[in-house]
Chain A
Amino acid sequence: MLAYIIRRLLFAVPILIGVNLITFALFFMVNTPEDMARAQLGAKQTTPEMIAAWKADHGYDKPLFFNGEAPGLSKISDTLFVEESLKLFVFDFGQSDSGRQISADIYERMWPSLQIALPTFVIALVTNIALALLIVLFRGSVLDTASMMVAVAIMSVSGLFYIIAGQLLFSKIWHWVPISGYEGGWDGLKFVVLPVVIGVFAGLGSGVRWYRSLFLEEINKDYVRTARAKGLSEIKVLFGHVLQNGLLPILTGVVVVIPTLFMGSLIMESFFGIPGLGSYTIDAINAQDFAIVKAMVFLGSVLYIVGLILTDISYTYFDPRVRLQ
């Protein structure tokens, strides 16, 4: 098991190097350090000396990929690409344009993100599966058709609409919860409710449809027919057999998302004023702070890869047919 995990982690390294190459190409080749310096210093009369000083100041004064002046192997290692990548691999994200430590910021802002994302994820999962099972129970009936039409309608509305309408109804007209804001701990519950409810509702359409088709695929299999032939009630068939066997395909889609919950949701957090990683990213995008965006891209891919590995491991627990080699 341990050997397998280590091997999977080693497989992740080339992918992360690839991710680095892409972000590096985006941030340093298309938009060279000279361009960055010029944009930061302002357009008027920038002398080459000023640009060189800015580059030295920010540690951007090395060649991009190949350092002809350095001796031996450090022709390759003493370059901006290797230096930037190594820093990312030890999660040292450097400083943002406003001079704050990005790693510390990320650690601090991770928890508010999680406080919204985790309840949304869990409640959405349970609601979607429960509703899908209910619809499958009444499959082929008017209820099935009607709920599928509602699901398509829910899917077709922009997520922005749910947020704006939700804030309007629950906060402005009915005054149930505050419009936006954040507080840690249990006191913050009143701020969490609305984003969670909206998040769950916005995902309801596609979620229910997806799980319904999963269960419908399962329901035509032989073991279900056997279960019915033994005289089990439809409810026992659904909850005892179909749900249990349907959990496997659900697992593939679910486990991979769990680590990325840390990243939060861009839109939710900016609308509800939650100081999480999502709003952090949005602020960085609006301020054109490349260092933060780069850090978030790297962090996002690391978390995704962790999710992939977790999916594989969880399979060995839930599906005895899967063996790790």
Chain B
Amino acid sequence: MSLTLLWTDGLIWGLIAALAAWGRIVSRSVQVRRQWMQVFESKVAMVSAIVLLFYVLLALLDSIHFTQQEAGQGLQSVLDALLAHLATVQERTYSAPFALTEYNRTLQTLEDGTVAMLYQPLQHINPAASMLWESGKALLAGLLIFTLATAVHLLWRSRVNDVSFVAQARAVWQGRTQLPWKTAYLTVLLLLLAMSWLYQLSFSYHVLGTDKVGGDVLYESLKSIRTGVLIGVLTTLVMLPVALLLGIAAGLFKGWVDDVIQYLYTTLNSIPGVLLIAAAVLVMQVMIGNHPEWFSSTEERADMRLLFLVLILGMTSWTGLCRLLRAETLKISQIEFVTAARAFGVSRFTIIGRHILPNVMHIVLIAVVLDFSGLVLAEAVLSYVGVGVDPTMHSWGNMINQARLEMAREPMVWWSLFAAFIFMFCLVLAANLFSDRVQRVLDPRSQTS
């Protein structure tokens, strides 16, 4: 067994590390700490942040890849290993959630030689399992994990606040803490119970049914989380440096630099987004098709395509933020403290680092959280159009694309679409609610009204 680092894995872990470092630096400032406390004071923001955290954790679990030479299996992630009982099994075709047999009758020869249309039983389920007993076990396990987690968290909070464990617990229970920890605990409890229930039952049933080729829908939906989160997060990583650099340069240096940068983003902006993405992805597809020797495995190829898609999305989406940053920099560079700094002979780079950057940071943050949900939704549409991620990759867009004709079947097959939409909806809703709160707290304009 050896660890394998895909390109996107490296980027996402690098991003996490960078975020942690940035958080440490910023949290030294009292104002910033107070602002973030204010964000989380809202119960809605707390709940949505926890939901987002669960999605990100699953995506991160799916971003640690290793190869097992002895087992003869290809590339696997930690999530694959956890869901090994789902990853390897394959039914023959459709089956409904919790079903014991296939969804449609098939022609079969019975033992006495007669031919009949029968519902064939599924192979990889355990009909002997008692639903009640399994559910009880799962809920108990969920409760146990929750108790442990809350105990650790309560202990930490009581140490920080310098009160006894019991006093801290009572404060949380009565809702006297500054942050809504009670709501947070409740969310975590519900999520843990739901997840452990799904996980435990997935050993005995196909909880969300199987798709056309017999793959487990729950497994597919869980694997799709990584694609969605990665596209939402890494695109901002690509777009941020470009937007920051060009936006601040245009606003600060003015003159021909400003003209060139304005020309650049007007040009890019005037091309319809979807078409530019489609054109770029098409060209990339042909390039990859012409050079099959570049990649050693399908996973690597799919990963490279994802990276390209992220790059292309980043290249087409920096213009909006760049324009905002340019305007804000223009405004800030007229204010006295910048003029004073310039008069003292402070170098331009120091001015940018010390005066401009901290003052435009709220715009950047708001743009990042606002873009995330849009990008997750865009992935589905792009994959539907055929210019999204690799068709072999698990993604909600691919799931919808493969299942879009299933509604027209008689009887209807609804669970693939349903699962994809629900998983996507929870992520996007949480992101939208969270970004609303961030915008309300960080945007100085929204506080006056």
A residues apposed to B, CB below 8 Å: 14-15, 18-19, 22-23, 26-27, 30-31, 35-36, 38-39, 152-153, 155-161, 164, 167-168, 172, 216-217, 220, 260, 263, 266-267, 270, 281-282, 285-286, 288, 290, 293-294, 296-297, 300-301, 304-305, 308
Contact = CB atoms under 8 A, between A and B. Distances in A.
A47 to B, nearest CB: 17
A19 to B, nearest CB: 6
Contacts, number: 126
Contact of B275 (A30, A35, A300): A300
Nearest to B291: A35
Given A22-B267, A286-B386, 17 more contacts: A19-B267, A19-B271, A26-B279, A35-B287, A152-B429, A152-B436, A158-B400, A158-B424, A160-B400, A164-B417, A168-B407, A216-B449, A282-B385, A293-B279, A297-B272, A300-B271, A300-B275
A297 B385 contact: no
29 contacts: A19-B270, A22-B267, A23-B279, A26-B279, A26-B283, A27-B279, A30-B283, A35-B290, A38-B290, A39-B286, A152-B432, A152-B433, A155-B428, A156-B425, A156-B428, A157-B421, A157-B428, A160-B404, A161-B421, A164-B404, A172-B408, A285-B278, A285-B385, A288-B282, A290-B282, A293-B278, A297-B271, A300-B271, A301-B270
Contacts of B285: 288
Interface string B280-302: 10110111011000000000000
Interface in B378-421: 380-381, 384-387, 396, 400, 404, 407-408, 412, 417, 421
Nearest to B408: A172
B311 interface: no
A157 B421 CA distance: 7
A304 B282 contact: no
B377 interface: yes
Max chain B CB contacts within 10 Å: which of A19, A167, A285, A294?
Answer: A285
A297 B279 contact: yes
A285 B282 contact: yes
Contact of A297 (B276, B396, B433): B276
Contacts of A293: 275, 278-279, 282
Size band of the B side of the interface? 35 or more
Contact of A160 (B279, B283, B381, B412): B381
Sorted nearest first, the 4 A-B pairs with minimum C-beta distance are A18-B267, A300-B272, A156-B429, A301-B270
Interface of B: 263-264, 266-272, 274-276, 278-280, 282-283, 285-287, 289-290, 373, 377, 380-381, 384-387, 396, 400, 404, 407-408, 412, 417, 421, 424-425, 428-429, 432-433, 436, 449
A158 B283 contact: no
Given A22-B268, A217-B449, A296-B275, A267 B283 contact: no
A105 to B, nearest CB: 16
Contacts of B270: 15, 19, 301, 304-305, 308
A167 B307 CA distance: 34
A267 B381 contact: yes
Contacts of B268: 22
Contact of A263 (B272, B373, B377, B387): B272
A243 B269 CA distance: 30
Contact of A31 (B272, B286, B384, B432): B286
A152 B417 CA distance: 21
A297 B289 CA distance: 23
Contacts of B424: 158
A220 B447 CA distance: 13
Given A30-B283, A267-B385, A172 B421 contact: no
Given A168-B407, A293-B282, A297-B275, A39 B385 contact: no
Contacts of A290: 282
Nearest to A153: B429
A301 B271 contact: yes
A249 B424 CA distance: 33
